[in-house]
Amino acid sequence: MKELENKVALVTGAGRGIGRAISLALAQEGATLILTGRDLEALNETARLITDLKRGPAPHVSQMDILDSTEIQRCINSALEIFGHIDILVNNSGITGKSARLWELTEAEWDECIDTNLKASFLVSKAVIPSMLVRKSGSIIFIGSITGKRPLIDRSVYAASKLGMVGMMRTLALELGRHNIRVNLVSPGFVEGPRLDGVIAQVAKNEKVSPQEMNRQWLEMIPTGKFITPENIAQGVLFLASERSGSTTGEDLNISGGLVMYS
């Protein structure tokens, strides 16, 4: 029997990057996937990759704006009508935000990052939790960032959004523990891919060095000397979603190659 057989998992931002890797890892263990996000084409590609695995039920694709509470509730209600329950929620959607000194950020840039990374996780969790309370069962996983704990130049708004997630996660873990609902968070380090390349390029421009030099400096900070892969993050999520972590709640799991060694 596969580890997550008969479990239903909803992943936000499932269309690419970390969200896609998480979805594939959960599907590999037999979970039924509800793939959500704004980019329907990308979601359909993730669904195709899951179908090709031939490891479990066909995924369900639901285009959803994570900042529209009405649309979120519609998506959750539809999923519950189809599957009856949601066992695993992965709050993965997010943006990198603008890389700039705090005093150079506009109010709109600040709000966009805080809303997309923090408020959206609140809205989606708020919509899913009542159904978990009825069943007295569930696992909620937030995708945070080591940037919420280890300062990086030009990353103030992103850091604020991700550290806010830690506070929300731990409070939820305290509130939901008696209902047999676990709540945890994964803090990725520097995850290789287009988003990291974009952040490095922006910070390099601000610091007046080449992207190659900034890339070298960031790699030098990591004890293992290499960036993290989306698949590394997916394995951490799989652990927290499964009964292997049955007594784990309120934890902040660093997957950073040793860049951060504290919670």
Residues with a catalytic annotation lie at: 158
- Distance, CA of 130 to CA of 64 (rounded, Å): 19
Question: Residue 14 carries which DSSP code?
Answer: T
The answer to whether 56 touches 30, Cβ cutoff 8 Å, is yes
- Distance, CA of 229 to CA of 191 (rounded, Å): 5
3-class DSSP state of 85: coil
- Distance, CA of 148 to CA of 150 (rounded, Å): 6
Query: Closest by alpha carbon to 234, among 173, 170, 172, 191?
Result: 191
The residue type of 121 is: S
- Distance, CA of 86 to CA of 104 (rounded, Å): 42
Q: Which residues contact 187 (CB under 8 A, 6 or more apart)?
A: 144, 145, 146, 148, 149, 162, 252, 253, 254, 255, 256, 260
39 Cα distance to chain centroid: 16
Structure tokens at 229: 């892969």
